[in-house]
Amino acid sequence: MAERRSINPIIKMLAWKVRKLKIEDIQNVLAAIASIQNQPFTLTDVINLLPDEIKANRNRRRRIGNLLQGLVALGYLSKPSERKWLKNAPTFSHFLTQHLLELSSIEKIPPRPPSPEKIISRRQKLEKKPSSR
């Protein structure tokens, strides 16, 4: 029985927003972006680094633009101009690592229970109210 490789959950989540792109296409796009030096790049630059089957399909090329916009919304890419993108981290995994560390520190902070003084003071106020009789 052939071993089935599990799909990275982050790649799955990226695929939710981009129709007509396969998981492999998203992986190829991320690899292409990672291979670009730290300088502004265009959609054409990314597409030129992808396999021919993606280059030949107009709908898939358009969806790559949507994927890049999604990566801008996440903060991995920024748009210095209308048709150019710029990486904010060398790779997507580098970008996510920093955010995972921040998330980890947030999750380690235990929630504070309400202070007992406030509860006591409310009870005291209720007990001190004079009866109307």
**How confident is the model over 14-67, as pLDDT tens digits?**
888 888 889 999 999 999 999 999 899 999 999 999 999 998 999 888 999 999
Instruction: Indicate whether 120 pLDDT > 60.
Output: no
* 64 or 8: which leads in pLDDT: 64
How many folded domains does the chain comprise? 1
**Which pTM value belongs to this model?**
0.72
Domain of residue 69: give its range. 9-108
pLDDT score, position 102: 80
Q: Judge whether 103 lies within some domain.
A: yes
CATH number of the structural domain spanning residue 87: 1.10.10.10
Instruction: Indicate whether 117 pLDDT > 70.
Output: no
The Cα 128–Cα 131 span in angstroms is: 9
The Cα 122–Cα 133 span in angstroms is: 22
